[in-house]
Amino acid sequence: QVQLVESGGGLVQAGGSLRLSCVAPRSIFSISDMGWYRQAPGKQRELVAVISPGTTTNYADSVKGRFTISRDNAKNTVYLQMSSLKPEDTAVYFCKLNLLFPRREYWGQGTQVTVSS
């Protein structure tokens, strides 16, 4: 079983910053898409950002210019740097690994991010 280990969540005031980390298995990390998703109370889980093995990125419109996704293959880690945080960013954030071939998805357990006004 593939295990994704997330860290970095917490409580922060509006306008502040947090960095989330997700460590994945060495054997498949470098050939997988990595993504961050979030789910707020009463809402559907939504894509926040994704990054390909070639470091192509894509962001939700709501976080463009504020969040940055990156990856470090030497550390088997994907990061989400979150700046200028807003109360509406409050959610549980999930790390996802997408193995490209054969196609298979793995999810982390989630980490809570709370932004106070």
Going residue by residue through the chain, which has 117 residues, state the pLDDT in tens, using 9 for 90 and above. Answer: 899 999 999 999 999 999 999 999 999 999 999 999 999 999 999 999 999 999 999 999 999 999 999 999 999 999 999 999 999 999 999 999 999 888 999 999 999 999 999
- Rounded Cα–Cα distance for residues 66 and 72 (Å): 20
Of the candidates 108, 94, 82, the residue with the CA atom closest to the CA atom of residue 13: 82
CA 103: distance to chain centroid?
A: 19
- pLDDT at residue 100, as a whole number: 86
